[in-house]
Structure 1
């Protein structure tokens, strides 16, 4: 893929959708099960996000590459089988090379198969688009998902334990030791933020912040631009 291609309008729109406008977590409110369960720390969120990224990019590529060979009547079972095979490979890789991270993420690695985001992008985008846009869509959607997981995990970890990327060297490897930080020294911790209810609370703040930023951005638009957008929305409906 040429660098200039990434700055073309279709690719910029795909990137903007994945990172912000159609963010998996903040806009679609999908994949909340792993999001709330494993984001007790930023390290766990990063590990889960990267594992999901590999599966999503590879599944989009496989579906797009074979889209003319897959019968429409059985496309969903085939998509699930493709995703399941990729998740199995990722699970085996983590178990072999990042065993500590594999033990922390546990059951949620196999459950990537049921992540409706991956299946949804395969059905809605990759099955209808060429290879490179499909891979770019999978990458940007998973980057948006990973960023949301890391931000949520970081907020919960700082407020819950006063640290950031704790045990990164143990879970991800010694090369990640530089990421381990103590943000609040001698902090006794706030247990609620380390538990699932803390995840719900922090996620609510994140969703509210995104909607507030979207509202402020819309208010800065010129009246003519707002009218044009409303007219386009009415035509689409």
Structure 2
């Protein structure tokens, strides 16, 4: 383990390797919330997430994963986060839910209304659109808090014969960790790409580091983007 960094060394993990081997015939790339409000300086949450996104080169790494997954011919799915006007009538919520509602994060006019959606904070990052809008990528119904329990991600993956998931996207200690936990509990083998995500930096602490610790304890694999690209190439 590195003596100069608080992060676990990806090449010298302290815990045993569970031994996950990528099988392209049953694998999918799942990218969570690849949206402007998270990943762009124009997004409403950049002041909280921008430092971590920049540090880990998250935007570039997610793009590399999209491209490699398409070349490999595996299933690709996106699990987005949208809030409609009716969602703002919820009577309770956690701290981050309150923040998202207050700043209008992921806001849309309605589930059947695309007015003002294009290039809004809820829209996909422009450089990812060629991969997401190619007519082949699964775009699930939205998750509403953090995990995929409220959307059709697991159903879509099962219907495509997927049992292994490469997980990336935003945010590390929130939606990514929640997706990881739920997918594991429902029988998927899950690898998290550690530098294709990022977390909030707040006075309460480093969300990325908090997630990284949990990823190392519970994920079937914790890979770098470089490692993942190699596996997608069959190397």
Q: Could you tell me the TM-score, scaled by structure 2's length? A: 0.29
Judging by fraction of residues, say which structure has more strand.
2
Where is the helix percentage greater, Structure 1 or Structure 2?
A: 1
